Chain A
Amino acid sequence: MPAQEQNQSPDSQNTTSDNTTHFGYKTIDKEDKVSMVAGVFHSVAKQYDVMNDLMSFGVHRLWKRFTIDASGVRPGNSVLDLAGGTGDLTAKFSQLVGKEGNVILADINSSMLNVGRDKLRDKGLVQNIKYVQANAQYLPFEDNTFDIVTIAFGLRNVTDKDMALRSIYRVLKPGGRLLVLEFSKPEHELLNKAYDFYSFNILPKIGELVAKDGDSYQYLAESIRMHPDQDTLKAMMDDAGFEQTSFKNLTGGVVALHKGYKF
């Protein structure tokens, strides 16, 4: 079924039927989302790191560092960096878990995975990293495998987020934790307006100029608005079975880090 060209406001984000989902502001058939999101990331993969630095003024590095600090990772841990893209988190985790630990960089998109693999190999990070092309909804790992699962700027692109959270819960060891780093809702109205202006007027133009792909960055801005806010995502994690769930707003809520444990 082709994508329905029906624009929606962010307020109607939770009103899709069982067979439909969002692709930015468009409502599309669920089975089409994977290929449409794949199209976006195949298109932006090579410029992904440059664009991240440009769009966030480099602050994404601090958000990721914050995630590492909050993870409580130890030498010997098993870590799954889901939707790991170009491997920023994997690189740090690989160094922190040491030779006895292991990190799996998983992404549904082969282009992103290839860019990530090349980047990490160029950095000499090879000994404890594996690469897996996987859909977050159907993780191809045994139950109770990982001490830590992270998903940074990836959950909003997943078709069925609840299913992905349940799948992550399954593969976590008891005592393990999930960290979700994702764009969220700014806390202050003024910041929200400035952020909206930047996202819909400036960001697609940067995308057009640098990555020659304004549409993908238009989708990025729309997908951020359609993503559940802080409290909704926390409730979704609770529903999936996570305990002691909490979130921390970063940069005034532009991004939030959610954390939950499996006991």
Chain B
Amino acid sequence: MLQQAFTSSLELLINKTLSLNISNIELKKLEQKTLTVILSELNFPLSLSVDNGNVLISGLTERADCTIKTSINTLQKLKAEQQLTELIKQGKLDLSGDIKVAQQFASLAENLDIDWQSELATHIGDVPTHKLVQLGKMVTDKFQFAAKQIKADASEYIVHEKRLVVTRSQVDHFNQQVSQISNQVDDIALRIANLSQQ
């Protein structure tokens, strides 16, 4: 029953997210349409249907207007609607049925626009939300700075102190020298061939 627990939670999450959306999303086009997604990472299908503005998720495959077989990684790229045909060309996605249904679900995800600050403010108030967002931004900046610093220090340690790997410029220089030697060897070989003919 893990499948049912998962689909139940996902259905709740999607409908809650849609209810928070502030941009104009046209769900009517998808009314009574079903998109079945078969992910390589999951051993059960996910069927998304729309009824009266609510998204329903089930394991029913009998009613699919469109079926997509793909992986979670590729699914993330699907958020951009125009990626759909490109991903099919690349063989990362199998699609059967009405492509318009898949495009409409993809555009649903693409057009989501949620004002998280405003939503949070309705629960905890304007001032705490402002402070919390500032704190979040500060923590994110600190983390980004720390991550950048750690990356630079680690690179310094590995390349210059431990000399475990060489730098990009050293690799380029080495490749250039190899090319020069290769050319010189070719020239000498040519000269030897000419001299031996004489």
Contact of A69 among B5, B49, B59 (CB under 8 A): B59
CB of A74 within 8 A of CB of B52, answer: no
B66-95 vs A, Cβ < 8 Å mask (1 yes, 0 no)? 000000000000000000000000000000
Tell me if B40 counts as interface (CB < 8 A to partner A). Answer: no
Cβ B4 vs Cβ A65 within 8 A: yes
Instruction: Report if B186 contacts A (CB, 8 A).
Output: no
User: Complex formed: what's the CA distance from A98 to B52 in Å?
Assistant: 10
**Which chain A residues (60-108) contact chain B, with CB distance < 8 Å?**
61-63, 65-66, 68-69, 71-75, 92, 95-96, 98-99
Determine chain A's interface SS by DSSP, over half rule: helix
For the complex, what is the distance from the CA of A99 to the CA of B31, rounded to whole Å?
Answer: 10
User: Is A98's CB under 8 angstroms from B32's CB?
Assistant: yes
Interface centre among A63, A68, A99, A250 (most CB of B within 10 A): A68
Q: Which residues of B have CB within 8 Å of A62?
A: 1, 4-5, 8
Whether a CB of chain B sits under 8 angstroms from the CB of A47 is no
Number of A-B pairs, beta carbon distance below 8 Å:
48
Q: Is A251 an interface residue (CB 8 A)?
A: yes
Q: Which residues of B contact A71 (CB under 8 A)?
A: 60
B residues near A65, Cβ cutoff 8 Å: 4, 7-8, 58
B51 within 8 A of A: yes
Please determine whether B32 and A72 come into contact, CB atoms closer than 8 angstroms: no
For residue B142, CB closer than 8 A to chain A, the reply is no
CA A68 to CA B63, docked complex, whole Å = 13
Q: How far is the CB of B156 from chain A (nearest CB, A)?
A: 53
Given A69-B59, A69-B60, A73-B60, A99 and B32 touching (CB < 8 A)?
yes
A68 touches B1 (CB 8 A): no
**B32-A75 in contact (CB<8A):** yes
B63 lies within 8 A of A75 (CB): yes
How many angstroms between the C-alpha atoms of A63 and B1 in the bound complex? 8
CA distance A251 to B3 in the complex (A): 13
What's the Cα separation between A75 and B56 when bound, in Å?
Answer: 13
CA distance A63 to B4 in the complex (A): 8
**Does A124 reach chain B (CB closer than 8 Å)?**
yes
The complex places the Cα of A75 from the Cα of B1 at a distance, in Å, of 24
Which residues from chain B contact A251 at a C-beta distance below 8 Å?
1
Nearest Cβ in chain B — how far from A186, in angstroms? 15
CA–CA, A61 and B12, complex, Å? 13
Residues 1 to 29 of chain B near chain A (Cβ within 8 Å): 1, 3-5, 7-8
B172 adjacent to chain A (CB < 8 Å): no
Given A96-B49, A96-B51, A99-B32, do A72 and B4 touch, yes or no (CB 8 Å)?
A: no
Residues of A with Cβ closer than 8 Å to B? Answer: 59, 61-63, 65-66, 68-69, 71-75, 92, 95-96, 98-99, 124, 250-251
Q: Which residues of B contact A (CB under 8 A)?
A: 1, 3-5, 7-8, 32, 49, 51-52, 54, 56, 58-60, 62-63
Which 7 A-B pairs give the minimum distances between C-beta atoms?
A69-B59, A95-B51, A65-B4, A62-B4, A98-B32, A62-B1, A74-B63
